[in-house]
């Protein structure tokens, strides 16, 4: 069965709505660099993390091809994101799971994902957006999705507005979670 829902496109649309040329973005899982390039084309600076040096090499090549030089590549676990943050940021993307066509055992894990998400939610500027794409089809994917949802339920509803998108009836399909940090109780529209 095919699903018209595209988890990455939903995340990109939510981010494009708020991201502007003077802003700063985090890519918590750089992978093949598609999200990093998407962000780098729309803002002043991107901080892109990955635990795999081989992934970051691919990202570097993709950035060179696109003539983008506003990305700081960080070879570290995103659970240590606070050690690398040198300026305020407006958006963050988490595209969880493993790198396609790569070693599936190197994947995001519930504990470090939730730790990174907490740091990012605490530090993202008001009016900012965090997207989390959770994949449920691989080993450990459901547990990680559950951990993310449990964490999200702890967020202060006076500060954070949460939207979830997905083919909810289909257990193995991805879920895109969009977290808005409200601006004086409202939403920022990029204007």
Ligand X SMILES: C[S@@+](CC[C@H](N)C(=O)[O-])C[C@H]1O[C@@H](n2cnc3c(N)ncnc32)[C@H](O)[C@@H]1O
Binding site residues, ligand X, CB under 6 A = 29-35, 49-52, 55, 77-79, 95, 97, 99, 106-108, 112
- CA 145 – CA 75 distance, rounded (Å): 24
Question: Can you read off the two tokens belonging to residue 32?
Answer: 């093949």
Nearest CB to ligand X, comparing residues 45 and 58: 58
Q: Please, what is the minimum distance in Å from the beta carbon of residue 39 to ligand X?
A: 10
Residues 144 and 109 sit within 8 Å (Cβ to Cβ): yes
Four-point Cα dihedral 31, 82, 174, 36, nearest 10: -40
Q: Please, what is the minimum distance in Å from the beta carbon of residue 136 to ligand X?
A: 13
Nearest CB to ligand X, comparing residues 70 and 112: 112
Nearest CB to ligand X, comparing residues 94 and 188: 94
Four-point Cα dihedral 183, 30, 87, 17, nearest 10: -30
Nearest CB to ligand X, comparing residues 51 and 161: 51
Q: Within a 10 A sphere around the Cβ of 129, how many other Cβ atoms?
A: 25
Residues 50 and 56 sit within 8 Å (Cβ to Cβ): yes
Nearest CB to ligand X, comparing residues 99 and 117: 99
Q: Please, what is the minimum distance in Å from the beta carbon of residue 10 to ligand X?
A: 14
Phi and psi for 10 in degrees, rounded to 5? -60, -45
Q: Please, what is the minimum distance in Å from the beta carbon of residue 88 to ligand X?
A: 21
Taking CB positions, which residue lies at the least distance from ligand X?
31
Q: Please, what is the minimum distance in Å from the beta carbon of residue 135 to ligand X?
A: 7
């Amino acid at each position: 069965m095919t699903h018209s829902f595209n988890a990455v496109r939903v995340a990109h649309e939510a981010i494009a709505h708020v991201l502007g040329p003077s802003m700063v973005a985090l890519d918590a899982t750089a992978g093949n660099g598609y999200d990093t390039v998407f962000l780098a084309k729309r803002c002043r600076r991107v901080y892109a993390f990955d635990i795999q040096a081989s992934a970051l090499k691919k990202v570097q090549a993709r950035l060179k091809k696109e003539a983008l030089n506003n990305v700081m590549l960080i070879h570290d676990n995103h659970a240590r994101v606070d050690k690398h943050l040198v300026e305020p940021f407006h958006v963050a993307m988490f595209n969880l799971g493993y790198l396609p066509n790569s070693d599936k055992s190197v994947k995001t894990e519930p504990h470090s994902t939730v730790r990174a998400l907490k740091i990012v939610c605490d530090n993202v500027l008001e009016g900012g957006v965090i997207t989390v794409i959770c994949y449920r089809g691989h080993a450990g994917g459901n547990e990680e999705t559950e951990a993310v949802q449990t964490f999200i339920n702890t967020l202060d509803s006076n500060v954070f507005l949460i939207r979830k998108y997905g083919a909810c009836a289909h257990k193995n399909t991805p879920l895109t979670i969009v977290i808005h940090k409200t601006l004086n109780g409202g939403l920022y529209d990029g204007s």
